[in-house]
Structure 1
């Protein structure tokens, strides 16, 4: 996800921890430290989860003093915020080659198959990122991080609406926009299910969700 202007907060700012980095590194050594903090936090997140992750734990693993970490991140939520943005960006980059007017015009079965493939690609990208499953959970569960996911889903909605409108200019735009946003949220919920319950077969989940989306999608584009 590319970074965009913040939307109106869904909760009063006073209720939420500060998630903005204190400063961004410019020198090569500072950049290295910044990236090591993020990599170590992601690694620890996969080991201990959201609740037990702390800046002190990151510092101990890195052999870094707390003041050195606090130059960049005021708390663990700021670290998670940056990791969340990076994960959303990697996921959203998968949509570029897929989100075309030609895709939006596919017959239902072919469109469903393409949705299932993008879903499975997103799953793999998330699994490959250190701490990816826990970052996904954090974006859902931690109020100060939910805006990362909301903004990402808004951005995906805008991208998909552009190509949808190019393929189906006569379709009713309000219904289409609501439907696209619901598709995104439903598919993301299915992704979370696979992390919360690994016994579920990924291919079957992908196919089921894709069939549901495609079945509704063909009705939306016909309106």
Structure 2
């Protein structure tokens, strides 16, 4: 059993990733050079009402993919932002990037995974859009899906280290804000519930 299989570790990881992505999105939203950017298929017309953390918790609750998928999804987001520098993560695209990266990671990593229609329902988008986002994401990655053990452990170690560093500061809003502000520019750049769930549109 790996450390990632521990529910407490996964809860902390989701909280950290959510906070990091939130800081990055907020920073890019306020960037004066942000408006001329290329609008992509991942951009919604409005900001989703659901928070990034609630959205990632929803994915974790219903996607049932292995804990390793979230580390690999983190690697994919990093690669995507490096290969698509004109497409900055912001409040209008972060949710779609999240659901797509997790779905692609699950398909690559897990022996068993849901179909696109299921992930679309979890993500609050149509199956047609989910299919299109998957293709767009794959081309954006240049189909570089392989994550070797060294890369995986590097990202995993980074996540664990950052969670330990930021844990004390998560208790106060002010210190958390300053901590993530200093890290937000680094994104990311390191090579069963049976009840019917409500669809949250993004």
Q: Specify if TM > 0.5.
A: no
What TM-score, normalized to structure 2?
Answer: 0.29
What TM-score, normalized to structure 1?
Answer: 0.27
Task: Work out which of the two has the higher radius of gyration on C-alpha atoms and give 1 or 2.
Answer: 1
Higher RCO, 1 or 2 (CA under 8 Å, sep at least 6)? 2
